[in-house]
Structure 1
């Protein structure tokens, strides 16, 4: 069995560590934070996992909060009219489960559990590649599962695969309590030209059945709070007042909501990015990137944590299949490329697609999903498994055939594929 170093104590690195331990490998986890520091730190994100990723966690005995948390059921997509009313309501007939557990609670517990199961856990400075180089000599394989700070420079941006070269949204995220009534579904409200508002159940560090309020503002618009010099509580109140104006009568359940704590909010920007998978340390050693180190997602489509889980599981399988042979740079490149082709490109495609205005054939999908439950199910299922959206959601010809097969009325399709021409007057 191999002696493997994992750098980074997030979803991807920890999940890979558990899988490798189960397969009999020696695992050493490097983190720049102790479990207590992670637990008592700031909210890192509002990450949620869909059904398939949760099942993979359960298979490794890692779902420690199932008996106490609110179990998310289904996702609802709403397109908002300019007057704030709901234009399209899209909900699948059979909701699928999802889970959101505070990463501070989850990662700190997982870090301790990984050590209990036999891994070596080392808390060391990881501010730059030089510090990393000093720690990882002698391992058969080094996997870097963090893209924070200077370590991100290990993996150059892949301009060909990266969908954007700048942030498409300015992100503001709150963990709130006192949200009534209890919420099980995740709701995405799309305000064309302004951004998106997402509310989803969340199990917090304080063992509260809380909610994530995620605001994705198009830069310069009313949902862009990036430059507001306010405390978390002040910013939440300002956001609430803006939402009450933009969505009159729709978010009354949010009126009494409060910030869970002053640490429970964040804001910033993310440029969806694909990076080259093989990094080189100063010693010449090749290291393999994983998760956000290589595939960085805007949270709008909720693909980041799910992609990280599936990617770690894919790497685990390839490591097991490669038993007894050296982990060369060529093997690393091939492993990533195969994951990209089988899953990663689709997750990034969904992320990029939701950040852009829908093309006419995609508008047809949205209108059809509002009217035909089978189309609604197929569309929402594409968030749970992005591979299922391709090619029918991106290729106009395939889209039309797909919608016809789902029973969408021909008259509706004609509005998008053969719109009536305007008659000129004489």
Structure 2
């Protein structure tokens, strides 16, 4: 029986530990918090997961909350104009539903499950010195803790990391009492509200510790009008700031938020980090090697909602590579090949798309977003790109590809008379 140590109890670490455990591996999991501490702590993310990532959980039989969590069937994009109007507003339909389960619910539940199934659980914040000792007794050490001292073992890959500073200031509020969007009151959807030059507001349904809720998530350009949450400790003040900014920049979302209240005292989160790709292999002082997992090695800004999706896909990819490796040693060549497989199938397309969305959108992207309001197939394809970001390579990055795609769709779909169109988006972007 091969012995594997997983450090970190987030989406990737727990999914991987449970998957290895189910395949008969002797797994030790290190977490810096108990299940109860996670359950009663502060929210950790927004974690909207799309169909492919959810399927990895189904495959392992750990989709414990699928029946309770809201089924998200659409993804909408709205673009704000300076006068508070929406020149662009559309809803794309997802092929398979997405879901968001508060990580306090999921990670505490999975941690309990791992222990109940006989896994060795160590509650300890691991240091490099600890790992130097442990690495001698395990066949493989996986680092899935994306913050703290351990990350320093993995050097920044400058060629794959165009940013060296945070590109957004992040502020999250979990709330009860949000009303439906009147245009589609029957559809659970993620709403992406773009405020050119200022930032983005994402609104999404979730399952939290107190049942169904909604997440209000501002991403602000650093130094801009949304960058006001740093140092705010009082949850009520955090929510008041969130709502005030919604009233000013996205009044259509504020209109359904006038009666919201926080789900709990731990229902807010604020921070920022620089997107980064790191070298996947860490070398311990004693010469042992460890392999980085998910956001330890590929950490993107949450503007495209890919964090938990990428973590799930990374765990599934690594699990497959471990199982296929059999009894062979987990050496440096295997570690590199294992990461490369994940990078080229998931990490690279997600990183390319996310970095593109962080920048000022070029004209052809504005045209695509505008056209999606007139051509439903374009809206649907853009929405489903959140599940499969590799699809954007076919039409999103190159102006000629985008023009060819729009011409092809327009010729096959009878379009209504044009309304505001892409020019309206361009005008709002120029403000």
| TM-score > 0.5, shorter chain as reference | yes
In the alignment, structure 1 residue 194 sits paired with structure 2 residue 203: no
More divergent stretch after superposition (38-47 vs 397-406): 397-406
Q: 2:53 aligns to what?
A: 53
Q: 2:408 aligns to what?
A: 405
In the alignment, structure 1 residue 31 sits paired with structure 2 residue 31: yes
Query: How far off is 1:228 after superposition?
Result: 5.2
In 1, are the aligned partners of 2:49 and 2:98 still within 8 Å (CA)?
A: yes
Change beyond 3 A, Cα 1:220–1:289: same
In 1, are the aligned partners of 2:385 and 2:391 still within 8 Å (CA)?
A: yes
Q: 2:355 aligns to what?
A: 352
Query: How far off is 1:94 after superposition?
Result: 5.3
Change beyond 3 A, Cα 1:321–1:240: same
Partners of 1:210 and 1:278 in 2: how far apart? Answer: 39
Q: 1:134 aligns to what?
A: 133
Q: 1:104 aligns to what?
A: 104
Q: 1:224 aligns to what?
A: 227
Change beyond 3 A, Cα 1:202–1:166: same
Alignment of 1:177-216 (within 5 A): 177-181=176-180, 184-206=188-210, 208-216=211-219
In 2, are the aligned partners of 1:49 and 1:306 still within 8 Å (CA)?
A: yes
Partners of 2:134 and 2:260 in 1: how far apart? Answer: 45
Partners of 1:188 and 1:357 in 2: how far apart? Answer: 16
Alignment of 1:310-389 (within 5 A): 310-389=313-392
Partners of 1:403 and 1:338 in 2: how far apart? Answer: 32
Alignment of 1:156-171 (within 5 A): 156-171=155-170
Q: Among residues 249, 256, 259, which one is paired with 2:259 in the alignment? A: 256
Once the two structures are superposed, residues 331-380 of structure 1 have per-residue CA deviations (whole angstroms, 9 ceiling, x without a partner) of 10121112111221011122112211211111121121111111111111
Q: How many residues align?
A: 411
Q: 1:114 aligns to what?
A: 114
In 2, are the aligned partners of 1:270 and 1:297 still within 8 Å (CA)?
A: no
Partners of 1:403 and 1:74 in 2: how far apart? Answer: 21
In 2, are the aligned partners of 1:38 and 1:104 still within 8 Å (CA)?
A: yes
Query: How far off is 1:125 after superposition?
Result: 3.0
Q: 1:420 aligns to what?
A: none
Query: How far off is 1:286 after superposition?
Result: 0.3
Change beyond 3 A, Cα 1:228–1:18: closer
Once the two structures are superposed, residues 1-55 of structure 1 have per-residue CA deviations (whole angstroms, 9 ceiling, x without a partner) of 4211111000001111122122222111111111111111111111121111111
Q: 2:311 aligns to what?
A: 308
Partners of 1:230 and 1:284 in 2: how far apart? Answer: 42
Query: How far off is 1:132 after superposition?
Result: 2.7
Segments of 4+ moved more than 3 angstroms: 93-96, 226-230
Partners of 2:402 and 2:66 in 1: how far apart? Answer: 38
Partners of 1:177 and 1:244 in 2: how far apart? Answer: 18
What is the TM-score of this pair, normalised by structure 2? 0.91
SS at 2:159 equivalent: coil
Partners of 1:259 and 1:298 in 2: how far apart? Answer: 25
Change beyond 3 A, Cα 1:93–1:69: closer
In 1, are the aligned partners of 2:163 and 2:274 still within 8 Å (CA)?
A: yes
Alignment of 1:266-285 (within 5 A): 266-285=269-288
More divergent stretch after superposition (17-26 vs 157-166): 17-26
More divergent stretch after superposition (2-11 vs 224-233): 224-233
